[in-house]
Amino acid sequence: MAVNRTYKVDQAVNTRRLIENKRKSKSITALVEKTIPSFLFLIAAVSILTTIGILYTLLTETIAFFKEVSFVQFFTGTTLKPLSQTPQFGVLPLITGTIISSLIAMLVAGPIGIMTAIYLSEYASDRVKKVFKPLLEVLAGIPTIVYGFFAFTFVTPLLKYIVPGLETTNILSPGLVMGVMIIPMIASLSEDAMNAVPNAMREGALALGATKLEVTLRVVIPAALSGIIASFVLGISRAIGETMIVTIASGSTKNFTFDVTQSMQTMTAYIVEVSGGEAPAGSTIYYSLYAVAMTLFVFTFLMNLLARYVSRKFREEY
């Protein structure tokens, strides 16, 4: 009897301990469940807070710049001489250089990228894809400074034999090399958009007697148009924000011209030049760095908004 009583007491104690441990584990689990959403929210808010911090910095310094320089003069002036005795701060030469280099890049990357995407999506076998895609992605992994030296030391001397009057630093050479750099982005995104088109649409067109090329041009590309256009817009944004290629190969001459054989400077190259230490903090040229950066931010922001709008406008759901 004593043994049974002892066993029952031990069993009751063990049961009580299990209940207490379970309650503790439940309370810990409940605490973790309450804490995790807040923790994840803070992690997710890091990007938003970073963006707000960047905008705050750009806006405060840009406002300080426009207190000294006219807003109209900045965006309509064709002369940029920040270090002269009578400094002038017209941003049009930088905007022109940025737009021209980006257009040259897209003239290279657009056709090559879309044709590469068509080949990989519609014509290449699985064996070819396994070899070709990694080789294509190698271009995306090359540092941009390497592209810059490649443009300056190889592409520019080569172009001098073809283009008469080409200067040692010019906007044509970095534009072409930027186009090569952007090819993997356009090709990859466009291929993904084409692969998202159901095979049933291809098979239906083939069953009606269409050729492979007709299926590609009249069925696949129209169905994947939103993704293709979005890849082009993102490619332009990438070209606008490129820094090292244009800094090395396009020179620092602030020409307001449309002649691609001449040296021109882009907004990113100007930012690199000013941030190199020649502009004392608090000076007008120092504040011009933020004004140009703000202009560049607005350019890329608008391009990203355009990419999102195009993706939603022409999106096909299957």
**Cα 79 from Cα 250, distance rounded (Å):** 18
pLDDT class of 7 with cuts at 50, 70, 90: very low
What does the pLDDT read at residue 112?
92
Compare 19 and 30 and report the one with higher pLDDT: 30
pLDDT class of 44 with cuts at 50, 70, 90: confident
Q: What is the dihedral sign for C-alpha 32, 33, 37, 38?
A: negative
Does 15 score more than 60 pLDDT? Answer: no
Domain boundaries, the chain: 1-67, 91-313
In the chain, the percentage of residues whose pLDDT exceeds 70 is: 87
Residue 187 has a CB neighbour count (10 Å cut-off) of 28
Does 8 score more than 50 pLDDT? Answer: no
Contact 240, 102 (CB under 8 A): yes
Chain centroid, CA 245 distance in Å: 15
Mean pLDDT in residue range 134-141: 81
What does the pLDDT read at residue 192?
87
Does 82 score more than 50 pLDDT? Answer: yes
Contact 242, 144 (CB under 8 A): yes
Does 9 score more than 60 pLDDT? Answer: no
Mean pLDDT in residue range 117-145: 84
* Highest mean pLDDT, choosing among 13-22, 228-237, 281-290: 228-237
Does 3 score more than 50 pLDDT? Answer: no
pLDDT tens-digit series, residues 140-159: 788 888 898 898 889 898 98
∠ at Cα 242 (237, 245), nearest 5°? 145
What does the pLDDT read at residue 108?
92
Does 123 score more than 60 pLDDT? Answer: yes
Conformation bin of residue 277: beta by default, left when phi > 0, alpha when psi is -120 to 50: left
pLDDT class of 100 with cuts at 50, 70, 90: very high
**Cα 194 from Cα 32, distance rounded (Å):** 43
**Cα 81 from Cα 91, distance rounded (Å):** 10
What does the pLDDT read at residue 167?
85
What does the pLDDT read at residue 114?
92
∠ at Cα 170 (165, 172), nearest 5°? 90
Residue type, 318: Y
> 């080409």: which residue's tokens?
166
Q: What is the mean pLDDT of the chain?
A: 82
Q: Which two tokens stand for residue 227?
A: 């993704």
Contact 231, 315 (CB under 8 A): no
Give every CB contact of residue 272 below 8 A, 6+ residues apart in sequence.
243, 247
Compare 22 and 147 and report the one with higher pLDDT: 147
Mean pLDDT in residue range 170-199: 89
Compare 70 and 114 and report the one with higher pLDDT: 114
pLDDT tens-digit series, residues 230-265: 888 888 888 888 888 888 888 888 888 888 888 888
Most distant CA atoms of the chain, gap in Å = 113
Homologous superfamily of 91-313: MetI-like (1.10.3720.10)
What does the pLDDT read at residue 29?
67
What does the pLDDT read at residue 178?
92
- Report yes or no on whether pTM surpasses 0.75: yes
